[in-house]
A and B are shown apart, each in its own frame.
Chain A
């Protein structure tokens, strides 16, 4: 087991490295850098001005070297101007020579700074991640119980009317992406056209003060899309368990149907959905990006859109590292959790 986890961690590291390199490469292509220079400097810069702006800040160097700098394995850039001022990646302008560290990258704990927000990337990502964590927490709190209940109710009697209607419901939710359900929810519950002003169509205030009024719609929108898939997996697992030998034995012994479902079937039927729920979390990340944009909730997904839209290189890299880590860790947890939950694998 230890070896398995170690190997998985190794693959994780390799994946994260490859992925950040791809992001790095794409964001450092010259047209992107040119746009960056023009938005940071001014829009009427000549081509030479753009080139010298980029050269002063170390953007023209080889991509591999730049990537090494970001990682913290290559020395940061230092530019000496004609008038003698020295600027560098790792220190402020004209810092004394002894206070000029050579390396400043992720390995040194320095994630760089965002050019759009004029702030440290690490603190930016941390605060936004906190906001998204709150959203995700509420989503899981709504989504998991609802989907398990729907799945178990549908799966306990395969082919019944209840099964058919609940299955159709879960198919319908998987067919409703967040930007569709969000739009419909806002139109029905928050617009003046239908007159039901129950909730708010914007969740901007929910960052500090989440209330029932401003947080319900975003949470419901994400939860609904993720729900259908988990419910269907639970249903499949439940129907499989309900045809097992020991359930038949229990029925023949005369155990009541409710007791069979709650005491005999449920525990075994919930092993598979656990894996699915864990693997669903990275999927929710997509939903989070859409919903945070739609409801203007300034969390991690909103940050991703801002970083990508403005080609904010260091912020974008940090954002992609975080999302890759989320994806890979949930995979790892689902693998380990599956082994622990399933006595057949655990004991053998």
Chain B
């Protein structure tokens, strides 16, 4: 079988169009920027009836040109993907093959956007996101990886081969190499080539997305729970408590992150059980948070509060105990038959260290917001009503701090993704055959100058995912500032 090219026979028609359009687009963009600096941007004239209109001229011409050329470029790129879905690798090359494998992701993305845009006026801040182009692009990138990760990890849909099986003769092969002796029903190519152990880069990429999609948001949620539960009282009460907690936070922040990872994640430290003890402490914060949240709200109605707390804390406590207790480790409090699930110790360590690194920053943000908001009138009003301090913190201050916190949450998932990659890059935590992006980059960097493709694919994926999260945060910030 012939090796695939990037765009296949389709490229003969589309590639020239793409090259010409991109060249012209670049020229137009540069012209627009130069004109923008030189002429002072778009000129506006006031009409006799008081309305404003653009005066036209060179700058406006160039900006119209850039817009249309950009649109044309977008259509050509979409053409590769759409034609690829229907024709597959034979006609549309590697890009077509990937696009065809990703069909369920495209469907899910289109559905999400169609539903969200239809009901965007009823969806609050999430709906407003669809008013900003930057926010939509970011959201699309993030959801692409979320859907791709979930579909590859849970349903085995997107991947073409097993992410661990090695196929002889495929070591370090370039993208699009046909598989030697592919049997019926097997996918006949390594779409993104083979890595140094002759495994399929494409399949590992999406299995790796699943690792990231699982760990990063959850670790961020835990970091936020810790940061909020400690940051609110620090900002609200001030005094000694604040001094102590801020000192501790600054202490952790003064550590170089990589040194901290090396100290926490080595197998010797894992053997001492320190990560398990840290998990025991860090994972208790969601319980404390939810318990205090519900208690402060409903303590006036004991008949409702007590059963509510028993049910909620009971379920969460069970989850907590199953999460921290693990038969082989130092913390084994639950007997085996009550233990709901076991976490792979490598993942637990990575999780704990990422939460530990992120929590102090969240603490500082929440503390700053609490310091600011506690001087507002509605806090004084609640105090006059006789509400308790925790009610004020959790039901008055926290909801009013949600804007900056949501934005920071998005940014922080991105940062957590970067941290996970850093851990993988230094070969810490996860096993060396784990398909996650950091580990794959680490494995690929040794042969980078000869065979760059096994490292480039995860690098670009990490880049697009974090970029999506940052753009999403930017869009959210813009939209939340509007009102």
Chain A residues close to B by CB (< 8 Å) = 11, 14-15, 18-19, 23, 26-27, 29-32, 34-35, 153, 157, 160-162, 165, 167-168, 171-172, 174-177, 179-180, 183-184, 186-187, 190-194, 201, 257, 282, 285-286, 289-290, 293-294, 301, 304-305, 308-309, 311, 316, 319-320, 323-324, 327-328
Contacts and interface: CB of A to CB of B under 8 A. Distances in A.
Contact of B255 (A19, A29, A257): A19
Contacts of A319: 259
Contacts of B247: 11, 14-15
Interface stretch (B15-23, B31-39, B93-101, B103-111): B31-39
Nearest to B133: A164
Nearest to B270: A31
A176 B463 contact: yes
Nearest to B452: A187
Main secondary structure of the interface of A (DSSP, over half): helix
B262 A308 contact: yes
Interface string B446-466: 001111110110011011001
Contacts of B66: 161
A216 to B, nearest CB: 15
B134 to A, nearest CB: 7
Interface in B130-168: 134
Contact of A179 (B29, B268, B425): B425
A43 B426 CA distance: 24
A289 B259 CA distance: 10
B448 A171 contact: no
A179 B33 contact: no
Contact of A18 (B33, B251, B269): B251
A284 B272 CA distance: 32
Interface stretch (B194-202, B232-240, B467-475): B467-475
B29 to A, nearest CB: 7
B263 to A, nearest CB: 5
Interface in B386-439: 414, 418, 421-422, 425-426, 438
Contact of A327 (B254, B258, B268, B449): B254
Contact size range, B: 35 or more
Contacts of B448: 183, 186-187, 190-191, 201
B174 to A, nearest CB: 8
A162 B421 contact: no
A324 B66 CA distance: 49
Contacts of B276: none
A178 B232 CA distance: 34
B40 interface: yes
Given A175-B466, A304-B259, A161 B459 contact: no
Given A257-B40, A324-B254, A183 B445 contact: yes
Given A186-B452, A286-B258, A30 B272 contact: yes
Contacts of A327: 253-254
B441 A183 contact: yes
B3 interface: no
A192 B466 contact: no
A161 B195 CA distance: 42
Contact of B269 (A19, A26, A304): A26
A191 B450 contact: yes
A122 to B, nearest CB: 19
Contacts of B422: 177, 179, 286, 290
B381 to A, nearest CB: 32
Contact of A171 (B32, B262, B269, B471): B471
Contacts of A192: 449-450
A304 B258 CA distance: 9
B203 interface: no
Contacts of B33: 161-162, 165
Contacts of B469: 175
Contact of A161 (B36, B414, B460): B36
A31 B453 contact: no
A243 to B, nearest CB: 14
Contacts of B452: 183, 186-187, 191, 193-194
A75 B257 CA distance: 33
A294 B445 CA distance: 8
B11 interface: no
B306 interface: no
A193 B262 contact: no
B229 interface: no
B421 A161 contact: no
Given A31-B272, A308-B258, 17 more contacts: A15-B247, A15-B251, A31-B268, A157-B36, A160-B41, A171-B470, A171-B474, A172-B467, A174-B470, A176-B467, A179-B438, A180-B462, A187-B455, A191-B449, A305-B262, A311-B266, A327-B253
A201 B449 contact: yes
B214 interface: no
B325 interface: no
A26 B450 CA distance: 39
Contacts of A193: 450-453
Contact of B41 (A31, A157, A286, A324): A157
B40 A175 contact: no
Contacts of A27: 263
A308 B445 contact: no
B455 A161 contact: no
Nearest to B42: A160
Contact of B449 (A153, A174, A190): A190
B271 interface: yes
A130 B250 CA distance: 27
Given A160-B36, A171-B470, A19 B251 contact: yes
Contacts of A14: 247
A165 B459 contact: no
Contacts of B425: 179, 290, 293
25 contacts: A15-B251, A15-B254, A18-B251, A30-B272, A157-B41, A161-B33, A171-B467, A171-B471, A175-B467, A176-B466, A179-B421, A179-B459, A180-B459, A180-B462, A183-B452, A183-B455, A184-B463, A190-B449, A191-B449, A293-B425, A308-B258, A308-B262, A319-B259, A320-B259, A324-B254
A102 B470 CA distance: 56
B463 A180 contact: yes
B296 interface: no
A184 B421 contact: no
A186 to B, nearest CB: 5
